Every structure is written in C-alpha cells, then in structure tokens.
Amino acid sequence: MTKPGRDPGLDTLLDLHGQILFVDEAGHWVKFIAVRTEVTPQRPHGLSYSLTLHAPDGERLIGFDNAHPVRERRGPGSQRRRESDHRHRRRSIGPYDYRGAATLLEDFWNDVDAVLKESGSVP
C-alpha cells in the first residue's frame, strides 16, 4: 500500500536508474538516471533525474532532467525558474512542469514515441 503523500511512480523511476534500453531496430536507445537527493529549491521533489533518448550514433534527441535551471522565456524580461526541471528536444530547451514520477515517465515515453515516428523508425 502506498503511504499518503508518497509519489506512487517514484519506485518505478528509481528502479530504472542506470538502465540503458534499445527501443527500435534502428538502434535508438534510452538511458535513465534517477536518484533521491535532499529537498532543495531547485529540486523540491528530492530527486535528481535524467531521462534521455539517443540516436544510434549517440546524439541526444530528447531529454528530461533537472541538472541546471532554465529560463522561463527568452529576451530582456526572462527569468530563471527556481526549479531546475526542464526538457530538451534536439537543440531547444524549455521548462518542464514536474508533477510526479509517473507523469514524468509518461511524458518521456510520449516524446520518445513522437520522435521515433518523426524519424520514420516506428509506424
């Protein structure tokens, strides 16, 4: 039984730590890093994570992580977010609204599916 206030997908995400999985016959692969950390303003959920999809040659195609803060938007009025959660898609980067480990995994796999479809790797 899940404790009240506990993120129900957290154990699944933590169990994926260190895993590298091939996701298609072309050789695209995903990598998971997920470890518990102290709760800080940058990591209010007490988790350091990096979920990435790579091309067969190793190029990162997408990623979700909280390794560094990002700006809310570009330009003179831009501000850095307190939380470090963000997503990469090819060469663009933007904030990510972390809502729990299960949602993070769902969002990641949805992006993986979209990129693989764009590349023609899956129907």
pTM: 0.84
* Residue 98 pLDDT grade (very low, low, confident, very high; cuts 50, 70, 90): very high
Q: What is the pLDDT of residue 8?
A: 79
Q: Distance between CA 39 and CA 68 in Å, rounded?
A: 15
**Domain range summary for the chain, segments of one domain joined by +:** 10-118
pLDDT over 70, % of the chain? 83
Which one is predicted more confidently, 82 or 86?
A: 86
On the 0-12 / 13-18 / 19+ scale of CB atoms within 10 A, 22 is exposed
Around Cβ 69, how many Cβ atoms within 10 Å?
16
Task: Pick the closest to residue 56 from 25, 87, 33 (CA basis).
Answer: 25
pLDDT for res 51: 98
Report d(CA 81, CA 34) in Å as an integer.
21
